[in-house]
C-alpha cells in the first residue's frame, strides 16, 4: 500500500491548486494526486477556446448558484489573489474590457505547464491513468485498496464534458463517504430550439441580443452573442440559459420559450420609426432586404416569416404601418420553443453537485467525514461564462488545500 499524508482525487484545476497550496504550507507532507486520464489538466487545455479564461475580476459580484457558500472562498482567494498565485508560478496575465483574465501567452497550455512545473518542483507525486473507484474510511482513507492517506480532497469535477475526464464518478465517491448530491443539470451548453426556424440561419452569429426565458412567468434573462445552428441556439447568451431551461422542463413538464430581442439598445417605437423611414430609402426593394441595415439577411427573413408577412415577391413598399408594427414586435421579441439542451456531453459545467450545507464554507471540509475535503465543480456551485467557473475551482481548491 502506498502511504500519503494527503491524497487529491482529480488532477485538473481545483485538484492541482489544492495540492500545491497544501505542499507550500506543509513542506514536510507527502502528497499525491490521482488522475484517471493519461495526463493532468486536460480540461484546462480546452478552456476559453484554448486561451484559458482563467478568472474574472467581477467574480465577487457575479450571480453564482451557491454564492452564499462560495463567498468566503472568493473573499480569501479573490481574482487578484488568483492572479498573484499564477504570477508566483511565472505566468503573467492580462484582463480584457469585460474583466476576463487570460494568460499573456493566450495559450491554455501555458497555464497547464506552469501548474505542472510547480507540482514537479514541490515533489508532489502524480499518478495518471489511476481512476479512483473505491474509498473506505476508517482511521485513514483507503483508496482502491492500493493507497492509504490521512487526509483526502475530492476534486473530481462534475459530469459535463466527460471526454475530459469528469464523468460524474466523483459524485459516487462522495456518496460512498456519506454525502448527498443534488439533482444534476448540464449548464453552459447550447439549447435545442425549434430547428425548423433556426436551420435556415445556421452559422449566423448575432453579436448583441437580450434573451428572456419564460414559462408561465419570466425564468431568466441573459445578454450577449448568439449563434444559430441546425438544432437550435449556441453562443454565450443562449448557453447561459440552458440549466434554467432544463430545470423548468423537468419540474413543470412543459417547454419554456426563449424570446430574442435583436435590438436591445433601441425601443420598440424607435424601431417602428426607423422601419417606416426605410420605406422612403428602399421601398422598391424586396422584403428580404428590409432588415439588412442591421441584421443578417436570413435573420430578417425569419423575422418577417414569424410576423406572418413574408412572401418571396413582396416589396418593402407593400408593408403598411400595422405590418411594420408586427415586424418591430418580432424584432424585440422573437419566440423560440426550448425543447432541451445538448446535454452533459457538450456542457462546459454541471449545475448541482455535492450539497454545500454538508461542508464548511470556511474550510471546504466535510461536516460528515473528518479529514475529507471537496473542491471545485463537484460542489453545487456554478457560474456563467467568462472565467467564473475556474475562479471557483481555484478559490475552493486553495481553501481546501489549507487543510484547516
Ligand atoms: C470546453 C470547456 C471550456 C471551458 N472554458 C472555461 C473558461 O474559459 N473559463 C472558466 O472559468 N471555465 C471554463 N470551463 C469550465 C471549467 O473548465 C471547469 O469549471 C473547471 O475545470 C472545474 O475544475 P475542477 O478541477 O473542479 O474539475 P475538472 O476540471 O473537471 O477536473 C476534474 C479532474 O478529475 C479527474 N477525475 C474525475 N473522476 C475521477 C476519478 N474517479 N478518479 C481520478 N480522477 C478523476 C478528471 O479526469 C479531471 O482531470 C470550461 C469547460 C469546458 C468543458
35 CB under 6 A from ligand 1? Answer: yes
- What is the predicted pLDDT for the residue at 293? 94
pLDDT band of 267, cuts 50, 70, 90 = very high
Look at residue 163 in the predicted model and tell me its pLDDT. 95
Residues 6+ apart with CB under 8 A from 253: none
Q: What is the CA(311)–ligand 1 centre distance, in A?
A: 49
Instruction: Give the DSSP letter string of 227-268.
Output: EE-SSEEESHHHHTTHHHHHHHHHHH-S--EEEEES-TTS-H
At 252, the pLDDT band (50, 70, 90 cuts) reads very high
Q: Give the model's pLDDT for residue 186.
A: 97
pLDDT over threshold 90, residue 270: yes
The DSSP output letter for 94 is: E
CB 189 within 8 A of CB 169: no
Model pLDDT for residues 153-192, shown as the tens digit of each residue: 999 999 999 999 999 999 999 999 999 999 999 999 999 9
pLDDT in tens, 90-138: 999 999 999 999 999 999 999 999 999 999 999 999 999 999 999 999 9
Q: At what angle do helices 268-282 and 321-332 cross, to 10 degrees?
A: 130
Does the C-beta of 62 come closer than 6 Å to ligand 1?
A: no
- Listed in sequence order, the residues at least 6 apart from 134 whose beta carbon sits closer than 8 Å to its beta carbon are 143, 144, 145, 176
CB 17 within 8 A of CB 24: no
How far is ligand 1, taken at its centre, from the CA of residue 302, in Å? 38
55 lines ligand 1 (CB under 6 A): no
Mean pLDDT for the chain overall: 97
Q: Ligand 1 within 6 A of 59 CB?
A: no
The pLDDT score that the predictor gives to residue 199 is 96
What spacing in Å lies between the alpha carbon of 293 and ligand 1's midpoint?
42
Ligand 1 neighbourhood includes 119 CB (under 6 angstroms):
no
Expressed in angstroms and rounded, the spacing between residue 390 Cα and the centre of ligand 1 is: 8
Which of 108, 120, 114, 107 is closest to 44 using CA atoms?
108
Question: Which domains, from first to last, does the chain contain?
Answer: 2-185+350-401 (3.50.50.60), 187-260 (2.40.30), 268-334 (1.10.8)
Task: Give the number of the atom of ligand 1 that is nearest the alpha carbon of residue 382.
Answer: 19
The answer to whether residues 355 and 180 touch, using CB atoms and an 8 Å cutoff, is: yes
What are the beta bridge partners of residue 258?
213, 336
Residues constituting the chain:
404
- What's the distance, CA 190 to chain centroid? 11
Ligand 1 atom at minimum distance from 347 CA: 53
Tell me how far the alpha carbon of residue 62 is from its chain's centroid: 13
Beta strands in 285-393 (DSSP E): 334-341, 349-351, 372-374
The predicted structure's pLDDT at residue 33: 98
Rounded mean pLDDT, 36-65: 97
Distance 134 CA to ligand 1 centre (A): 21
Identify which of 136, 145, 210 has the alpha carbon closest to the alpha carbon of residue 1.
145
Which three cell numbers mark 374?
A: 471537496
Q: Does residue 172's CB lie within 6 angstroms of at least one atom of ligand 1?
A: no
154 contacts 374 by C-beta, under 8 angstroms:
yes
Predicted confidence at residue 260, as pLDDT, reads 98
Beta-carbon contacts of residue 277 (< 8 Å; ≥ 6 apart): none
Give the residue-averaged pLDDT of 194-217: 96
Structure confidence at residue 279 as a pLDDT band (50, 70, 90): confident
Q: Is the CB of 165 under 6 A from ligand 1?
A: yes
What are 372-386's pLDDT values in tens digits? 999 999 999 999 999
Amino acid at each position: 500500500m502506498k502511504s500519503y499524508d494527503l491524497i487529491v482525487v482529480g488532477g485538473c484545476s481545483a485538484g492541482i491548486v489544492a495540492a500545491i497550496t497544501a505542499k507550500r504550507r506543509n513542506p514536510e507532507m507527502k502528497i499525491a494526486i490521482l488522475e484517471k486520464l493519461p495526463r493532468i489538466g486536460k480540461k484546462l487545455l480546452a478552456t476559453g477556446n484554448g486561451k484559458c479564461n482563467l478568472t474574472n475580476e467581477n467574480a465577487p459580484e457575479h450571480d453564482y448558484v451557491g454564492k452564499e457558500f462560495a463567498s468566503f472562498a472568493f473573499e480569501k482567494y479573490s481574482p487578484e489573489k488568483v492572479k498573484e498565485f499564477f504570477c508566483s508560478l511565472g505566468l503573467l496575465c492580462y484582463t480584457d474590457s469585460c474583466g476576463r483574465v487570460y494568460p499573456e501567452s493566450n495559450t491554455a497550455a501555458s497555464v497547464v505547464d506552469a501548474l505542472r512545473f510547480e507540482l514537479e518542483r514541490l515533489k508532489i507525486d502524480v499518478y495518471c491513468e489511476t481512476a479512483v473507484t473505491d474509498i473506505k474510511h476508517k482511521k485513514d482513507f483507503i483508496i482502491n485498496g492500493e493507497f492509504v492517506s490521512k487526509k483526502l480532497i475530492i476534486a473530481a469535477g462534475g459530469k459535463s464534458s466527460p471526454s475530459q475526464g469528469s464523468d460524474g464518478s466523483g459524485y459516487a465517491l462522495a456518496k460512498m463517504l456519506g454525502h448527498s448530491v443534488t439533482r444534476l443539470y448540464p449548464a453552459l451548453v447550447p439549447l435545442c430550439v425549434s430547428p425548423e426556424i433556426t436551420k435556415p440561419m445556421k452559422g449566423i452569429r448575432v453579436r448583441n441580443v437580450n434573451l428572456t426565458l419564460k414559462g408561465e412567468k419570466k425564468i431568466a434573462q441573459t445578454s450577449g452573442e448568439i449563434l444559430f445552428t441546425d438544432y437550435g441556439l449556441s453562443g454565450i447568451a443562449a448557453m447561459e440559459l440552458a440549466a434554467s431551461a432544463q430545470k423548468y422542463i423537468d419540474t413543470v413538464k412543459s417547454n419554456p420559450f426563449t424570446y430574442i430581442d435583436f435590438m436591445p439598445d433601441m425601443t420598440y417605437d424607435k424601431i417602428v420609426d426607423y422601419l417606416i423611414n426605410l420605406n422612403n430609402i428602399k421601398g422598391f426593394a424586396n422584403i428580404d432586404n428590409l432588415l439588412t441595415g442591421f441584421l443578417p439577411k436570413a435573420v430578417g427573413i425569419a423575422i418577417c416569416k414569424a410576423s406572418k408577412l413574408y412572401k418571396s415577391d413582396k416589396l418593402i413598399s407593400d408593408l403598411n404601418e400595422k405590418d411594420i408594427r408586427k415586424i418591430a414586435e418580432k424584432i424585440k421579441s422573437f419566440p423560440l420553443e426550448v425543447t432541451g439542451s445538448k446535454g452533459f456531453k457538450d456542457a462546459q459545467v454541471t449545475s448541482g453537485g455535492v450539497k454545500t450545507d454538508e461542508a464548511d464554507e470556511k474550510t471546504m471540509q466535510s461536516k460528515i467525514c473528518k479529514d475529507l475535503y471537496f473542491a471545485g465543480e463537484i460542489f453545487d456551485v456554478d457560474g456563467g461564462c467568462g472565467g467564473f467557473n475556474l475562479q471557483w475551482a481555484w478559490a475552493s481548491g486553495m481553501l481546501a488545500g489549507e487543510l484547516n
